[in-house]
Structure 1
């Protein structure tokens, strides 16, 4: 089971985690961590619970921890089932004009179901689902909700999820991630004064008057307005235009 993706080099590890959830097909319902050499990168709650020294994924950027082509690092999802993913930085590429990032280039193999019981449980599940005469076939099929196609993967569908949000059974698992941010020079200068963690919080806590709730701002741009920065973009849930004014100083 593999995926090849393009991401911004400055992507934060929290957004890389969300990207991996979408491109793999996970449901963002368990804890996770990254391990880069001997550095643990995850959310602050997990670090506090484990009393571990590590790096908050909201602030950590890929380019600051994974620099060399060929670098390997690990992503673990669901500490019970223990799904380990090996990640490798294959190459650096110029940005494609008009392309939204993150972007899934290609991949293969269907994602295991959530809570299937790790690698051994997944093998038992696959064996039973492949044989209608297997004693556990009916119960597994009912639990899963239909047939399982072990080699199925649709990159175009994944990219739609990255652009519009990842929904499972009418539940929004991950908001839209793929963006094409652009700022006027003065707005970019002012935006850079805001800490990365605060930037992330601003982008993920924008009010959408159409949804009448908090959303993530995607495909956003920034303009300098009387000393402040006006962010304008699309709602990560409904896709409608929305904006917020960020007061500087």
Structure 2
């Protein structure tokens, strides 16, 4: 039986119209903190806020970039200490970015891919998209960057070669210069 090497995941930004979604191929070994950076790139965010991943069936558990020792709501596990695959096999995930704006994303496993199936595929990569990036921090929509899949895949290629530095997308030149 062929071994799974990658996952195709659908990430849908909730509660926005028109709809905004991205389909990514990511390695099966991806951690939550790494997926956070990919989502930042895929949706045009600036990696300027806190985030968390939640499993709807386990509301008392969160994977976070910053552990709040005073949290009484849920057990918090550092995002760099947990892998996406085991959880995503069982359920969809909710990723929330910027707790003030509460940008909620639903993440669904679409299919598993073997080494043979990704032989000529860039991992990670964006294979499908819908909708433009949204402006961050409640800014005027004119500050939102249009979505460009070719540009995103170029950034994801850089990301895949960055090693452990990949967690800090804001410092790697992966985000375009801002005019605001």
Q: Return the TM-score normalized by structure 2.
A: 0.70
Corresponding residue of 2:68: 47
Corresponding residue of 2:127: 105
Corresponding residue of 2:156: 162
Corresponding residue of 2:50: 31
For 2:160 and 2:70, locate their aligned partners in 1 and report how far apart those are by CA, in whole Å: 31
For 1:85 and 1:49, locate their aligned partners in 2 and report how far apart those are by CA, in whole Å: 25
* 2:172 is aligned with 1:178: no
The answer on whether the counterparts of 2:24 and 2:124 sit within 8 Å (CA) in structure 1 is yes
The answer on whether the counterparts of 1:19 and 1:162 sit within 8 Å (CA) in structure 2 is yes
Q: Deviations over 1:196-238 (max 9, x none)?
A: xxxxxxx43xxxxxxxxxx55xxxxxxxxxxxxxxxxxxx959
Structure having greater relative contact order (Cα 8 Å, sep ≥ 6): 2
The answer on whether the counterparts of 2:63 and 2:76 sit within 8 Å (CA) in structure 1 is yes
SS at match of 1:89: strand
Q: Deviations over 1:96-153 (max 9, x none)?
A: 1243321111102112111116xxxxxxx45xxxxxxxxxxxxxx5xx3xxx68xx42
* 2:64 is aligned with 1:82: no
After the TM superposition, list the runs of 4 or more consecutive aligned residues in structure 1 that deviate by more than 6 angstroms.
Answer: none
For 2:93 and 2:104, locate their aligned partners in 1 and report how far apart those are by CA, in whole Å: 10
The one of 116, 119, 123 equivalent to 2:138 is 116
Corresponding residue of 1:190: none
For 1:100 and 1:237, locate their aligned partners in 2 and report how far apart those are by CA, in whole Å: 19
Corresponding residue of 1:22: 41
The answer on whether the counterparts of 2:67 and 2:78 sit within 8 Å (CA) in structure 1 is no
Q: Return the TM-score normalized by structure 1.
A: 0.52
Unaligned runs of 5+ in 1: 118-124, 127-140, 165-176, 181-202, 205-214, 217-235, 239-249
**What RMSD, in angstroms, separates the aligned Cα atoms of the two structures?**
2.6
The answer on whether the counterparts of 1:101 and 1:179 sit within 8 Å (CA) in structure 2 is no
Corresponding residue of 1:153: 147
Corresponding residue of 1:122: none
SS at match of 2:160: coil
Corresponding residue of 1:92: 112
The answer on whether the counterparts of 1:12 and 1:59 sit within 8 Å (CA) in structure 2 is yes
For 2:172 and 2:39, locate their aligned partners in 1 and report how far apart those are by CA, in whole Å: 19
